[in-house]
A = this chain, B = another copy of it.
Amino acid sequence: MSEARYGELRDRLSELWDLVKLGGLAGWDQQTMMPPQGAAVRARQFATISKFVHEQVVSDELGELLEELRPYEESLDYDSDEASLIRVSRRDREKEVNIPGDLREAQARASAEAYPVWVEARRTNDFELFRPHLERNVELRREYASCFEVDEPYDALLDDFEPGMKTAEVREVFARLRDGLVPLIAEASEQEVDDSFLRRGPFPRPAQQELDRIVLGPYGFREGTWRIDPVEHPFATSFGTDDIRMTTRWPEHEFSGVFAAMHEGGHAIYEHNVSRTLERTPLCRGTSLALHESQSRMFENLVGRSHAWWSWGFPEVQRLFPQLADVELDDFHRAINKVKPSLIRIEADEATYSLHIILRFELEQDLIAGSVAVADLPGVWNERMQEYLGVEVPDDARGVLQDVHWSRGTIGYFPTYALGNVISVQIWERVLEDVHDLDDHIGRGDLAPLTSWLRERLWRHGRKFTPQETLERVVGSGLDPEPYLRYLNGKLGALAA
């Protein structure tokens, strides 16, 4: 009887998840394929799907099913798919019932309307064009935060991306991070590193596309399950474990696109390897944004900026971009790891990257608290960039308008990037304990020992466990910035030597 009811739950959640994924498809399409004038109607379509999803989640039928299945859940192993699906869905529903359907719909619509305006505003360096949309998004996020009983409003936003995480905890981790990074960056910035050949363009798009295929090869995607397309702001998503969509950038003036592809490949391979038994359920994705980001940063940086990786890959780079024929591997490796405070987050080096995040984390709290008005944002942005990174912001396009997130109404997301950095090295240290010759494998373009480890310990579980449970299971402890700082110190020290 319980099993039959569980079957009903599973069917309901699968249909719900189908709707979520169709909304995801509409989002992917908007950013990769949609003719620009389609935006207005697309905004309404997002609002509609969001409304249907909300109605399904908060429906009494689902609530009753979940209640009725409590004893069944308790009779099962905590780690089982079944118990996990019931447990996580109940938690999702308990959160969602606090949110009025109208608000969900308004958010979906505002976000879809703001996105194309942001694209245009960034292109034309016109913050004023974007301002009313950002004001609307901030207002809606404030309204959203007020739906929950939390210590501080930002907790409610953070919880969407990092369930269970508190703003206070992030503040503490970030303080330790900043204290560690500042002297490290100061020292590393003194090194004279010639990376001018990385801007020895043009780097033709077809060659970049081929390089992406080459570097993504060792990830081990199953055949016929993925594609990669160029967009304004790269992301990865999936509509099933065998329907993976990566996106990237192929700038022709500099050698950087491949790192975007390796980054998104890290997100993609996580979703690709969620257990098939979780297909078409709300557990079929990474458990949180920080865990997700730990994977993308691991593949982008710990693999993708390592000496070993390019000892395998650099000959291909030279074949595709003959203008780099006279560059030595060691110089290439040093150049792609150059520490230099700069304007653009997604182009930042491993060391300064987290300072970009800390700046955004603080500004988001200010916006939500109302202590900084949207109209004043460009000025405050530019001041803090000067203060934290010592760089002058020449225009808003390369300043406050650079990121897509706020156009999507996603506030509370940025911290997960820096947390991802932190977690990536916590996990990496554990991998190294088990795989002693990892570097040798990477040097042959062989990522199988790494991907097997991650599949078994992390990926296959999808969203069965909370981020805290997951981290505890994978690394045996909570958040800890020390491994990351240790790694950066070691790496930058070696490069300077």
Contacts and interface: CB of A to CB of B under 8 A. Distances in A.
A222 B18 contact: no
Specify how many copies of this chain sit in the oligomer.
2
B280 A242 contact: no
| Highest count of chain B CB atoms <10 Å: which of A45, A51, A222 | A45
A434 interface: no
Given A44-B14, A280-B44, A240 B22 contact: no
A23 to B, nearest CB: 8
A280 B25 CA distance: 19
Interface in A144-192: none
A36 B242 CA distance: 9
Interface stretch (A27-35, A74-82, A378-386, A411-419): A27-35
Given A35-B226, A227-B35, A18 B49 contact: yes
A71 interface: no
A21 interface: yes
A242 B41 contact: yes
A19 B45 CA distance: 7
| Highest count of chain B CB atoms <10 Å: which of A29, A41, A227 | A41
A26 interface: yes
Interface in A438-475: none
Contacts of A49: 18-19, 22
B15 A51 contact: yes
Contacts of A19: 48-49, 52
Contact of A35 (B22, B42, B243): B243
Contact of A239 (B14, B18, B42, B241): B42
Contacts of A14: 44, 48
Given A15-B51, A29-B29, A52-B19, A225 B45 contact: no
Interface in A1-41: 14-15, 18-19, 21-23, 25-26, 29, 33-38, 40-41
5 contacts: A25-B29, A36-B224, A38-B239, A40-B242, A45-B239
Given A34-B243, A38-B242, A52-B52, 11 more contacts: A14-B44, A14-B48, A15-B51, A19-B49, A22-B25, A35-B243, A37-B242, A38-B243, A40-B240, A41-B239, A41-B241
> Which 10 A-B pairs have CB atoms at the shortest separation, nearest pair first?
A38-B243, A41-B240, A18-B48, A37-B242, A36-B224, A37-B224, A37-B225, A18-B45, A15-B48, A35-B225
